[in-house]
Chain A
Amino acid sequence: MERAETSPIAGLRARGGAIDGGSAAVVLLLIGAAIFLLVGCLRSTAFAQYTVQGLALGSVYGALALALVLIYRATHVINFAQGELAMLTTYIAWWLMEKGLSYWAAFAATLVIAFVLGTLLEVTLIRPVQHSVIAVVIVTVGLFILIDGIVNWVWGGDFKFMQSPFGNASFDVGGVAIRHQDVGMVIVVFASVVLVWALFRFTKLGLGMRAAALRPAAAALVGVRVDSMLAIGWGLAAVLGAVAGLMAEPSQIFLSPTLMQPILVYAFAAAVLGGLESPAGALVGGLLIGVSLTLIVGYVPQKYIGAELQLPLAFAVLLLILLVKPSGLFGRREVRRV
């Protein structure tokens, strides 16, 4: 909950500009939401449990949303295959574990594999068609279908059991049972995000990537290899997706090819909610959606809003945001590139 208060401010500070009225309203809204959550948690154990669960799920949505935003910022393309790619890397991790690696060894190896996969995809599939928006959309859609087919083919569509690294125990915090798993998910995602953020903020490579995303022509003039930056961007996005997939798995208990499909939807909603260009927004959006959906499903009776309606609900949110404030919570007003 504290994160909800600091991220938008960090996001604003990173942009360095003055805080305008719109952003102030958003920050106030978020602080209000955080207070609401805090109060609810203190007054009801069920509420607290839902909130923590929601935050854990939300961090996964946020991680995938961040991957989407990374790619969008650089290339103005939505990678429709981001979820499936994450699912593929999760299967690879499972396979590595079946071969005998420990969880965290497999985790690390998978991140490396994801990076390589992401850069390869950009270079071989996206670069040749990057001049045409429709062509890139279709290629990512084709990739979606292809990866789904490949995973089903190689590993089958039945459920696989993947051990959770966090175990089934819970902390007892003032009478509220908070699962180790939920805390673990949040920590892992948070750590990954911070690492990626640090890469962008403090390294020369990160600076080059930011420059390439902002103004490719000007970046080239100072010697940035823009094409390579794009490929690395895709690689990093794949890494974040891999983290999302691996952290999503413990919450779903069984690994199956449809693992990431609903999560992609939530990630879309989160990315748009945050404003497609804002990484902080994507994370906050993910957390918001995670918490809201968990609370709604938890409290509203099954017959009105069951668990299956989470998906359409997320879409309703997506639509609403796009209609009311297309630039999302943290985005600037979209300027049509002339």
Chain B
Amino acid sequence: MTALLELEDVEARYGPVHVLHGISLAVEEGSVVAVLGPNGAGKTTTLRAVSGTVRRSGTIRFAGRPLRRVGPDGVARLGVAHVPEGRGTFSELTVLENLRLGAYTRRGSIQPELERVFSYFPWLTERRRQQAGTLSGGEQQMLALARAFVHRPRLLLLDEPSLGLAPVLVAELFRIVRELNEKEGLTVLVVEQNAQLALQAADAGYVLEAGRVVLSGSSAELRADDSVRRSYLGY
């Protein structure tokens, strides 16, 4: 069975600086996969390589088809939703407009999606006409997630969702991610500094260091691994 997303020997660079030195990973459809590692390991860059936001070489296959020279808007049209670091919400637009943008690539009415979204994030309903910028950091992160969901993607790329959020909100966020995965069959590739949370929510994981994959396996395996425990789980 081919995975939904496959990376083979992917290299990426920002100008002259090479960040990824040959990453290979696979994400099975319907699973949640975590990407862990220290700062600067290239986790965010890996996601950017998938969404076409950074110059890359190597092979990336989505649903069996190789992504060649597809820019971010093309990748979005193929069914990949990327929630970047910093959320990528439009603070000057309203909450509802942000959600509508999530469905930009879809045709037809998005009412059912909106209703689903409001059921997962009920507090968004009253805030729909508010400017997104007036929401708190945590709420904006939820909004970003909601918007990704409206997209009805096959693959969700989540970049550091816990950054700057209170622990309670982070837990809630991962709970919703897990729920979306189980109920809606959403495949998720999540980059996360908080290895503990990530491994709890994920089925499998990859550990990156200095632009290379150093460890991979199911989340249970990773949680049991000594080096992971020492470096990332703190015990």
Question: Is A in direct contact with B (CB under 8 Å) within the complex?
Answer: yes
On A, residues with C-beta under 8 Å from B are 15-17, 204, 207-208, 210-211, 214-215, 217-226
- In the complex, whether B220 has a CB less than 8 A from a CB of chain A is no
Q: Which chain A residues border B147 with CB–CB below 8 Å?
A: 222
- In the complex, whether B226 has a CB less than 8 A from a CB of chain A is no
On B, residues with C-beta under 8 Å from A are 51, 53, 71-73, 76-77, 81-82, 84, 88-90, 92-94, 97, 100-102, 104-105, 129-131, 133-134, 147, 151
Known: A16-B94, A211-B90, A214-B93. A222 touches B131 (CB 8 A): no
- Quick check: B88 and A218 within 8 Å, CB to CB? yes
Q: Which chain B residues border A214 with CB–CB below 8 Å?
A: 90, 92-93
Residue of A nearest to B74 (CB): A223
Interface of B: prevailing SS: mixed
Residue of A nearest to B105 (CB): A223
Q: Which chain A residues border B92 with CB–CB below 8 Å?
A: 15, 214
Report the bound CA distance from A210 to B98 in whole Å: 11
A-B contact pairs, 12 of them (CB 8 A): A208-B101, A211-B93, A218-B88, A218-B89, A219-B101, A221-B51, A221-B76, A221-B88, A223-B73, A223-B76, A223-B151, A226-B73
Q: How many A-B residue pairs have CB under 8 A?
A: 70
Report the bound CA distance from A217 to B85 in whole Å: 12
* Apart from the given pairs A16-B131, A17-B133, A223-B77, 19 other A-B contacts in the complex at a CB distance below 8 Å: A15-B131, A16-B94, A16-B130, A17-B134, A207-B104, A208-B101, A208-B104, A214-B90, A217-B88, A218-B84, A218-B90, A220-B71, A220-B73, A221-B72, A221-B76, A222-B81, A222-B147, A223-B105, A223-B151
- Quick check: A224 and B104 within 8 Å, CB to CB? yes
Nearest chain A CB to B37 CB, angstrom units: 23
Nearest chain A CB to B135 CB, angstrom units: 12
Q: Which chain A residues border B88 with CB–CB below 8 Å?
A: 215, 217-218, 221
Report the bound CA distance from A16 to B101 in whole Å: 18
- Quick check: A204 and B104 within 8 Å, CB to CB? yes
Report the bound CA distance from A248 to B105 in whole Å: 40
Report the bound CA distance from A15 to B97 in whole Å: 13
Q: Which chain B residues border A204 with CB–CB below 8 Å?
A: 100, 104
Nearest chain B CB to A157 CB, angstrom units: 45
- Quick check: A215 and B90 within 8 Å, CB to CB? yes
- Quick check: B100 and A207 within 8 Å, CB to CB? yes
- Quick check: A224 and B73 within 8 Å, CB to CB? yes
Residue of A nearest to B89 (CB): A218
Q: Which chain A residues border B133 with CB–CB below 8 Å?
A: 17
Q: Which chain A residues border B101 with CB–CB below 8 Å?
A: 207-208, 211, 219, 222, 224
Q: Which chain A residues border B93 with CB–CB below 8 Å?
A: 207, 210-211, 214
Report the bound CA distance from A204 to B151 in whole Å: 14
Nearest chain B CB to A223 CB, angstrom units: 3
- Quick check: A221 and B82 within 8 Å, CB to CB? yes
Q: Which one of B53, B105, B134 contacts A222 once the chains associate, using CB atoms below 8 Å?
A: B105
Nearest chain B CB to A95 CB, angstrom units: 39
Known: A16-B131, A204-B100, A204-B104. A222 touches B94 (CB 8 A): no
Known: A17-B134, A221-B76. A207 touches B89 (CB 8 A): no
